[in-house]
Amino acid sequence: MAMSIVHRATGIANAAGFVLLVLWLVAAAAGDPMFGAVNGLFGSWFGQLVLFGFTWSLTHHMLGGIRHFIWDTGAMMEPGRREAIAWATLVGSVVITLVIWLVFVWVG
Amino acid sequence: MREQLITKDTIADPRTRYGAAKASTRHFMTQRVTGAINIVFLLLLLFVVVRLAGADRAGAVALIGTPWIGLPLALLIVNVAIHIRNGMRDVLEDYFAGSTYTLLMTLTTLFSVVVGALGALCVLKLVFWG
């Protein structure tokens, strides 16, 4: 129930994040001044915060989608198991997001 | 536009084609196929973003302008736009009806087409013109 709402909320958030990706591509196509400006915006502390949230939102929505693929086969629908798989998507999304940022941003 | 009066008979009669059951099988399959392809998109996006973190525009053009990265990226951006429109339909169908739904769905289509086409065209520009 709650996970259904989160799946929808992250889906809408991903649509907003998609605008950020396209903004970055427009800037890359436009030229150096705009690319520098957008990179500066995304590199600021607020930009990094938004991108971190976007990473989690994408990861959570992807795992939610995989959960739906599993449910489509009829598996993991039983009481208890469906709660377990819901928790797995939540914990998994946080772990994957932290690993991505740890490996590629904070350390790399 | 006047709202249609919904009775039990309207809902029970398949000939009225009331509700979301017009092309729902196609919407269901579209959402799953584009969703599965989006996993590939995320992997490619992660690769591109990680490679370009802190890079200047020349680096971005060199990487995205590579045809075997740029061309799949453009296709996957279109795929994401389709997935966004289809997914937003699922949400809008549940909370809105009648002309409000039609209006919001039109705005969703507009958003998907404009943002998706813009993203894909910018990538193609980098591939073919640098």
d(CA B8, CA B23): 21
Average pLDDT on A46-64 reads: 97
Q: CATH assignment of A2-107, given 2.60.40.1120, 1.20.1250.20, 1.20.1300.10, 1.10.10.10? A: 1.20.1300.10
Q: Looking at the predicted structure, is the pLDDT value of residue B6 above 70?
A: yes
- CB-CB contact of B129 with B70 (8 Å): no
Total Cβ atoms within 10 A of residue A78:
9
Grade residue B1 by pLDDT with cuts at 50, 70 and 90: very low
Closest by Cα among A71, A52, A54, A61 to A16: A54
Task: Test B84 with A18 for CB contact under 8 angstroms.
Answer: yes
Q: What percent of chain A has pLDDT over 70?
A: 98
* Cβ-proximal residues to A91 (8 Å cutoff; 6+ apart), any chain: none
Residue B3 lies in a domain: no
* Cβ-proximal residues to B75 (8 Å cutoff; 6+ apart), any chain: B120
pLDDT value at position B5? 72
Average pLDDT on B101-122 reads: 97
d(CA B13, CA A60): 39
Average pLDDT on B110-125 reads: 98
| Residue B17 C-alpha, separation from nearest chain A C-alpha, in angstroms | 25
Spell B27-47 as b/e; 16+ CB within 10 A means b.
beebbbebbeebeebbeebee
CATH of the domain at B111: 1.20.1300
From residue B89, give the alpha-carbon distance in Å to each of A3, A57, A71, B39, B54.
Answer: 18, 19, 21, 21, 37
Shortest CA distance from B63: residue in chain A: A28
d(CA B12, CA B18): 9
Residue B72 lies in a domain: yes
pLDDT value at position B19? 64
Residue B2 lies in a domain: no
Shortest CA distance from A18: residue in chain B: B115
> Looking only at Cα atoms, what is the longest distance across chain A?
56
Task: Test A18 with B80 for CB contact under 8 angstroms.
Answer: yes
The pair of three-digit structure tokens given for residue B106, joined into one six-digit string = 């039109």
Q: Looking at the predicted structure, is the pLDDT value of residue B91 above 50?
A: yes
Range in A49-58, A77-86, B109-118 the model is least confident about: A77-86
- A88 φ, ψ to 5°? -65, -40
pLDDT value at position B16? 77
A8-25 residue pLDDT tens: 999 999 999 999 999 999
Task: Test A22 with B119 for CB contact under 8 angstroms.
Answer: yes
pLDDT value at position A52? 96
Segments making up each domain of chain A, as ranges? 2-107
Task: Test A65 with B38 for CB contact under 8 angstroms.
Answer: yes
| Test mutation, B46, B122, B124, B129, chain A, max A CBs within 10 A | B122
| Residue B46 C-alpha, separation from nearest chain A C-alpha, in angstroms | 9
Q: How many domains does chain B have?
A: 1
Q: Which domain holds residue B89?
A: 8-129
- The mean of the pLDDT values for chain B is 90
d(CA A97, CA B5): 48
| Residue B13 C-alpha, separation from nearest chain A C-alpha, in angstroms | 28
Q: How many CA atoms lie within 13 A of A67 on its CB side?
A: 22
pLDDT value at position B3? 60
